[in-house]
């Protein structure tokens, strides 16, 4: 039976190479695309993070206050309602930020809209 002796410096080298390989593999992963299985037809879908990741909610009608769960958290969206959707910074449709055409989606909203949505109106523009 053969015995191998590995020095501690060699173990550290192997560990460093494995850590580097794992880190670079995760950096090259493509961002997720909006998933029609997650965003049902007839819905306006919101994700907390870019590239349709993180906490998710979908709405089929206007909402004067999306509540604590999604308030000031919208980073990506997909409008599958078939109608225009307006997104507002404050409750009760105050401070219109953007009007979103039917079918439009965005993996990362512009920074001046990021994490600012509180209400949304389906079927009406700003």
CATH number of the domain to which 108 belongs: 2.60.20.10
**Cα torsion for 49, 88, 113, 102, to the nearest 10°?**
70
* Cα atoms found within 13 Å of the Cα of residue 98, Cβ hemisphere only: 20
Please determine, for residue 60, whether its predicted confidence score (pLDDT) is greater than 70.
Answer: yes
d(CA 120, CA 124) in angstroms, rounded, equals 10
Predicted local distance difference test score (pLDDT) of residue 3: 58
Q: Is residue 86 part of a domain?
A: yes
The domain of 73 spans 44-122
- From the centroid of its chain, how far is CA 24? 22
Domain count, the chain: 1
d(CA 48, CA 54) in angstroms, rounded, equals 5
Q: Is residue 24 part of a domain?
A: no
Q: How confident is the model at residue 10 (pLDDT cuts 50, 70, 90)?
A: low
Percent of residues, the chain, with pLDDT higher than 90: 68
On whether the CB atoms of residues 78 and 52 are closer than 8 A, the answer is: yes
């Amino acid at each position: 039976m053969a015995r191998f002796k590995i020095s501690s410096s060699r173990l550290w080298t192997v560990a460093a190479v494995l850590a580097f390989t794992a880190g670079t593999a995760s950096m090259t992963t493509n961002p997720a695309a909006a998933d029609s299985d997650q965003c049902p037809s007839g819905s306006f879908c919101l994700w907390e993070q870019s590239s349709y990741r993180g906490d998710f909610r979908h709405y089929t009608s206007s909402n004067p206050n999306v509540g604590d769960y999604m308030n000031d958290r919208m980073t990506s969206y997909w409008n599958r309602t078939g109608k225009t959707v307006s997104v507002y910074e404050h409750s009760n449709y105050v401070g219109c930020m953007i009007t979103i055409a039917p079918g439009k989606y965005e993996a990362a909203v512009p920074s001046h809209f990021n994490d600012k949505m509180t209400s949304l109106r389906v079927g009406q523009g700003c």
